[in-house]
Amino acid sequence: MSNNTVNVSKPKSSIIKDAIILFVITLVSGLALGVVYEITQPIIEQRALDAKKEAYQTVFLDAEAFVEDEELSAKAESAPEEIFDANGFSNVTVDEVLVAQDSSGNTIGHVMSVTSNNGYGGAITISLGYSTDGVVQGLEFLVLNETVGFGQNAQNPEFKDQFVGKQVTEFVSTKSGASADNEIDALSGATITTDAVTEAVNAGLLFLNETASGNN
């Protein structure tokens, strides 16, 4: 019986050619992705910055400017170890804190972003405004990846506005109806989210009352 097997292996030169073509395609694709990243990354960062500035203005309507304080920023970095752990706040960070000023440059309070990593869906980052006389000026969310219909309801005015205008140093959540300034009605079916938001607010207030001279 004759052997009709046909050798269809490519010549060595053809394999090298294919390899070169694949390398060129990969190189061009990588360069293209790099160019796209270089173009889009500043835009993404600027949008994030604009969103944060908008949130700060929203949580402190009376402020005309927000100014960085290097000493306060340094204290924010060490807050988890030096302040929060000793007061029962775990997995909470102060991401940024700025001085809120009026049109004359006078300090009227602070704005800050605080993250609690104890939410049901992970990290929850809030933007918080706090005046020098100890009144919460506003609360907005920068990151809220909670369950739709439950934890996501934290961004509704009915919930977040409970913190605003209150002159307290610590909030507590309740399921039986808020009857005091420091009590917050918990979200239905979202106790973990409620606790994480309250924790972030309380950590922010503690930090400012411990470190910011205008709030002491």
Give the total number of structural domains in the chain. 1
- Give domain status of residue 26, yes or no: no
- Give domain status of residue 33, yes or no: no
CB 127 within 8 A of CB 100: no
Boundaries of domain holding 170: 60-215
- Give domain status of residue 44, yes or no: no
> Residue 4 pLDDT more than 70?
no
Confidence label for 136 from pLDDT (cuts 50, 70 and 90): very high
- Give domain status of residue 51, yes or no: no
User: What does DSSP say about strands 172-174 and 183-185: parallel, antiparallel, or unpaired?
Assistant: parallel
Confidence label for 9 from pLDDT (cuts 50, 70 and 90): low
When mean pLDDT is compared over 13-17, 27-31, 200-204, the highest value belongs to 200-204
> What is the Cα gyration radius of the chain?
26
pLDDT of residue 35: 76
- Give domain status of residue 186, yes or no: yes
